[in-house]
A and B are shown apart, each in its own frame.
Chain A
């Protein structure tokens, strides 16, 4: 294992200490616990609070989307582990502005257990909560078993659209409706070429042979659709993009937003080689592209690979996606139609 660390056991705490030191005007923590991260800029009274959470090892997911125009807080777990219900509750209390709090997180059992319990505890404190779970990974289960699908990079679109809706002053119910619509409109698949190493474990949890690739692999190495011989960038896109488009029926007025996400060890050069082919396929299918996000949005430590997400935008979703965002890890100006 070659990593820039001090002690494996201090990996998350030292990472968080660095983040607070680097971005003191934008991020702070509550309840005397660095894992309970919130926006340092106070929210507008009455704004619906947006809280996420999940394991570490995926930066800028999850905490990187806390900031103006997106999320209000994030409970941070250990590497690939859920935060506790108590930590989620502390974040919830800190961000509630009297209009309730929406929980947005990925479809993993540990997270579900702890967010559900946090919701119950928040109820004791008189805080109304709602939940929308990201389940965008088409590689993790077939469409008829959608509730089993993992949440991966596509949760970015849920954060973005819910964030803009909350900033616009919509009610908890309305923000939840839009978050769920964004989730339904987003499909993702990942491709991995090499594994990652959890600092406290020290060795890879799985392997991908030198001449092979894993289609649909999850961001913790969960198995996906198939293992096969490594192919060219164009061939890989030709194989996976139809899997996403087949589940999203585009009508004439819809446009696509694309999220091409590096998993940690893939150069941006290669992402753009992949995008070159994505652009061609979308043009052939006469699907108009509204915006392309290309870079690292949800990583898996130093895993080599990428994920491709397509979000189908109607006028309503597009309006919220276009709103500006300013967080320490992600900045977006207002997008023109």
Chain B
């Protein structure tokens, strides 16, 4: 299992996120079409393609790399969810020490806390509003609790992934408060939040990534 990520591994992680968005494109579109615009799968694929094409400069650390991924996403995918993801990466990246060359457990917590806070600041939604935050908040909390409690990064990421899945499931009973979905609030009952599904993909891929051999890639 992986303990910490180098810049090269972070780039591989972003590529894996991009691959997952390609695979989940149709699912995300179908989910979003139930009460939204139906463009979520398209915009997420665009956003993560832009991130995957981001090349860090020679002197840059992991923080700057993630922030640049966010800038690229903002340009490529100006939808609400694209803008929120871009903000998450920019804020997460900026929260890391400028020269960080390794993403260890502590820095992973710092990244996802700032990622989540950035999305909360920009979107101005609150817990229970049936948004991506209802997945990000419990997942980043579980990650933080795991590392603080002495768990390995792989174990903490595992519990973050489980918390993300539970958070998504809990959105079934919530009434949407934001965007087009709010106009069809009742129709949203029983359906999981589409933005939250994106966040679950992030943590599922992160989890799979930490399960692989430390020598790869």
Contact = CB atoms under 8 A, between A and B. Distances in A.
A117 B75 contact: no
A8 interface: no
Chain B contact surface mostly: helix
B78 A84 contact: yes
Nearest to B179: A109
A85 B74 contact: yes
A124 B80 contact: no
Interface of A: 84-87, 109-110, 113-114, 116-117, 120-121, 124
A283 to B, nearest CB: 44
Interface in B108-166: 122-124
Contacts, number: 31
A117 B75 CA distance: 10
Contact of B122 (A87, A113, A121): A113
Given A121-B71, A124-B71, A114 B87 contact: no
Contacts of A85: 74, 78, 83, 86
Q: Shortest 9 CB-CB distances between A and B: which pairs?
A: A84-B78, A86-B75, A85-B74, A117-B83, A113-B83, A117-B74, A85-B78, A116-B122, A86-B78
A117 B80 contact: no
Nearest to A87: B78
Given A85-B83, A109-B178, 17 more contacts: A85-B78, A85-B86, A86-B74, A86-B75, A86-B78, A87-B78, A113-B83, A113-B84, A113-B122, A116-B122, A117-B74, A117-B83, A117-B86, A117-B122, A120-B90, A121-B71, A124-B67
B92 to A, nearest CB: 13
A121 B74 contact: yes
Interface of B: 67, 71, 74-75, 78, 80, 83-84, 86-87, 90, 122-124, 178
A235 to B, nearest CB: 33
A77 to B, nearest CB: 10
Contacts of A87: 78
B78 to A, nearest CB: 3
A120 B80 contact: no
Contact of B80 (A86, A113, A116, A121): A113
B54 to A, nearest CB: 13
Contacts of A114: 78, 83
A146 to B, nearest CB: 16
B82 to A, nearest CB: 9
Contacts of B124: 109
Nearest to B68: A124
Contacts of B74: 85-86, 117, 121
Nearest to B118: A120
A76 to B, nearest CB: 13
Contacts of B84: 113
A110 B179 CA distance: 9
Contacts of A109: 124, 178
Contacts of A124: 67, 71
Contacts of B75: 86
A87 B67 CA distance: 19
B141 to A, nearest CB: 25
A73 to B, nearest CB: 17
Contacts of B83: 85, 113-114, 117
Nearest to A118: B74
Nearest to B75: A86
A222 to B, nearest CB: 12
Contact of B123 (A84, A86, A113, A121): A113
A264 to B, nearest CB: 24
Interface centre among B67, B75, B83, B124 (most CB of A within 10 A): B83
Contacts of A113: 80, 83-84, 122-123
Contacts of B123: 113
Contacts of A110: 80
A123 to B, nearest CB: 10
